[in-house]
Chains A and B, each alone.
Chain A
Amino acid sequence: MNIWMVMVVGGLLTFGMRMSFIYLFGRLQIPETVKRGLRFVPPAVLSAIVAPALLMPDNSIDISLGNFRLMAGVVAILVAWRTRNPLLTILSGMAALLLIMWGSGIV
């Protein structure tokens, strides 16, 4: 499947889900279990992407000071936790990574 196919199929699926209960109104309701389960989609999917990106930048687990992305990620997590400010989180994480890379002479 090339990227255009992926976009069209993904787009149709997304539209289908947005249209689903608007179309089915009065005919079908969401079961309570599904409704309660759906709120766990964001924490599950997002963490599943973040964890390998921080813990295994070179495709194998690396928990050491030499793992720059883990160090910068920890900075971002702390900033996100303390400030709840999305933009500040992204900027501080990126600044931390650039600083560490610059300090080690990579950039």
Chain B
Amino acid sequence: MDQTVKSFLAGVRAEFPLLVGVFPFGLIYGVLALDAGLSPAAALAMSSILFAGSAQFVAAQLVSQSAPGLVIVLTIAIVNLRHMLYSASIAPFIARLPARWKMLLAYLLTDEAYAATILHYEKTGFTPTGHWFFFGAGLGLWTTWQLSSALGIFFGAMLPASWPIDFAVPLTFIAMVMPVLKDKPAVAAAISAAVVAVMAFALPFKLGLILAALVGILTGTVLEYRR
């Protein structure tokens, strides 16, 4: 078998366990996006234009609360800041690729694709076909995300309107936040952000969310440096 194909398939395989976990989140996103008031077309387009799970959840939540566009864009930017870290970490391994490859791989650089790819690069270092592994992992995730959100959008239309579907957002975030509360600075970041979010809830344009996020990030960082 050709080395590029082998590398591509290895990427898909390495991504597979993550895909199993991502699939239900895509379903929930699809259901939620409709419930938030997005059209099926917009809900589906968001999965390929943004292609960022938690940012899509947050965007849907803010749309349902009729937050202004600028606030939604700002929040998306804050939620996706971490991708700059991934970008810096993966950059040396794809530095020699042509620009079109870099753009394609940057588009596919999600939490899950990064996780599988960086483990691979750390093991093998730079290889001539390493970017095919990255592409396999990224495309595997992309396809799963599109498929699962489409299914969620399809089934979401059939759920009874009286069901509290929107409650899936905080539940999803509880599930995501628990594993990262590993030390005191992280717990302090979460608690301070929660307190500010409740206190500043009445601020216009949902600015309380942005303020709370900034206070949380700052609290965590300060505590980390104090240790």
Contact = CB atoms under 8 A, between A and B. Distances in A.
Interface of A: 1-11, 13-15, 17-26, 29-30, 33, 35-56, 59, 61, 69, 72-73, 76-77, 80-81, 84-87, 89-90, 93-94, 97-98, 101, 107
A17 B189 contact: no
B194 A51 contact: yes
Q: Specify which of B73, B168, B212 lies most central, judged by the most chain A CB atoms within 10 Å of its CB.
A: B73
Interface residues of B, number: 94
Nearest to A91: B171
Contacts of B58: 45, 49
B157 interface: no
Interface in B148-202: 162-164, 167-181, 185-187, 189-198, 201
Contacts of A97: 164, 167
6 interchain residue pairs of minimum CB distance:
A1-B69, A44-B216, A40-B220, A51-B194, A48-B212, A21-B88
A40 to B, nearest CB: 3
Contact of B88 (A29, A33, A51, A73): A29
Contacts of B175: 76, 80, 85-87, 89-90
B80 to A, nearest CB: 5
18 contacts: A6-B72, A10-B50, A11-B51, A14-B76, A17-B83, A26-B95, A30-B84, A30-B88, A37-B220, A38-B85, A44-B192, A45-B209, A47-B173, A48-B197, A51-B197, A81-B178, A86-B24, A86-B172
**Majority SS of interface residues in chain A?**
helix
Q: Specify which of B59, B90, B193 lies most central, judged by the most chain A CB atoms within 10 Å of its CB.
A: B193
Contacts of B178: 77, 80-81, 84, 89
Interface of B: 21, 24-25, 28, 38, 42, 45-46, 49-52, 54-55, 58-59, 61, 63, 68-70, 72-73, 75-88, 90-92, 94-95, 102-103, 105-107, 109, 162-164, 167-181, 185-187, 189-198, 201, 208-209, 212-221, 224-225
